[in-house]
Structure 1
Amino acid sequence: MTINEIIAINMSRLREDKNLSFGQLAERSGVSKVMLSQIEKGEGNPTINTIWKVANGLGVDYSQLIVQPEAKVQVIRGDELPPQEDDGGVFQALCYFPATSSRRFDVFVVKIAPGGEHFSDGHSPKTQEYVLAQQGPLEAILDNETYYLKPGDAICFDCTKPHKFRNSSQEPIEFLDIIYYQ
């Protein structure tokens, strides 16, 4: 796929997402409707400055226009993911879907060994964490309060603050962990 095709796909998607006509985008960006139409058809050869103007008109980062679009269907094989380990292997996370410019969240499957715990200093500003217990009892410690989750239970919290996950059981536990970046 050429860079012009990538820009065309991204511009069309972003313009539709924002419900903007060519005329409205032309007003916001300072790029003519004719040029915008050519770019979106993949026929134009926009300069870097033109792409910047379009990005500003759409209210997005420049990179959102030039990054290769994700496949419509993504199949992730868990056994092919590199595990991220911490605390001597007691805590293991597999990142199935990392955040991108169009996907403002990470999706992890986390495992904690029996008797193990994992402490986090907190994540970047304006982030939230969504946790769904899947296997075994999970303890989430937030602001010195412990929340006990059994499989099927979920919790959501402001993860900018320090927090801890603990497995007090004799079996490994597993949970789905989604970190959302606002």
Structure 2
Amino acid sequence: MQAIGERIKRLREQQGLSQRALAEASGISAAALSQLESGQTSPSVATLEKLADGLGIAVAAFFLEPGEDQDIELFELDDRPSVDLSHGGRFVPLTALRQPTGFEPMLVHLEPGGSFDENQYGIKSPQVFVWMRKGSARLEFDGREYDLHETHSVYYDARKPHNWRNVSDQPTELLMVRSR
């Protein structure tokens, strides 16, 4: 918890923002931000999204070590930090470049029965592209259901109600690329 809090504080200070200014820009309370920065609490995915929006950075920047090269990023997937989701899954940011880009790729893992509702986490990406890397999952989109299997892909307007659900008995991996 302490490491992510220290990174939030460092990124805030690099932009010359007070806790109150970042809290207002992010839509969270200054008290909650203070607790995050001091390591007293752990941020949810929704909170990381709000803070990233307030700072104008990708969520993955919270996982970047100080001094890492910001012009190019090479990594091993197994070395990437991940964020646990509340409903049987986790996501792995696939970039950590601090400069805002037009997209943010991530790997989403869903255990059997697991789900990922981007709306639940406060994600405001207008467009999403998903490629099924492994397994299968159901996309519940705007009142309809679509079953996707390995190597299938889909592009959708994420401002409409949607949810990903692993309805199989095997783990699923989705490569998700969201617009920012």
TM-score normalised by L of structure 1: 0.55
Query: Between the two proteins, what is the percent identity of the paired residues?
Result: 22
Q: Corresponding residue for 1:137?
A: 136
Residue in structure 2 matching 1:106, options 104, 107, 131: 104
Q: Corresponding residue for 1:162?
A: 161
Shift of residue 96 of structure 1? Answer: 0.8
Q: In 1, are the aligned partners of 2:135 and 2:149 still within 8 Å (CA)? A: yes
Q: In 2, are the aligned partners of 1:98 and 1:105 still within 8 Å (CA)? A: no
The yes-or-no answer on 1:82 pairing with 2:101 is: no
1:16-165 pair list within 5 angstroms: 70-71=70-71, 73-87=72-86, 90-98=88-96, 100-101=98-99, 103-121=101-119, 123-124=123-124, 127-165=126-164
Deviations 1:125-169 (A, max 9, x none): x62000000111111111011111111110011112331001111
Unmatched segments (≥5 aa) in structure 1: 1-67
Counterpart-to-counterpart distance in 2, 1:75 and 1:69: 10
Deviations 1:38-81 (A, max 9, x none): xxxxxxxxxxxxxxxxxxxxxxxxxxxxxx9833x421222222
Opposite residue 108 of structure 1, the aligned amino acid is M
Tell me the matched-pair count: 112
Opposite residue 169 of structure 1, the aligned amino acid is S
Unmatched segments (≥5 aa) in structure 2: 1-67
Q: Corresponding residue for 1:48?
A: none
Counterpart-to-counterpart distance in 1, 2:137 and 2:172: 7
Counterpart-to-counterpart distance in 2, 1:174 and 1:163: 17
Counterpart-to-counterpart distance in 2, 1:130 and 1:96: 14
Task: Give RMSD over aligned pairs.
Answer: 2.4
CA distance 1:130–1:100, shift in 2 (3 Å) = farther
Q: Secondary structure at the match of 1:115?
A: coil
Q: In 2, are the aligned partners of 1:123 and 1:161 still within 8 Å (CA)? A: no
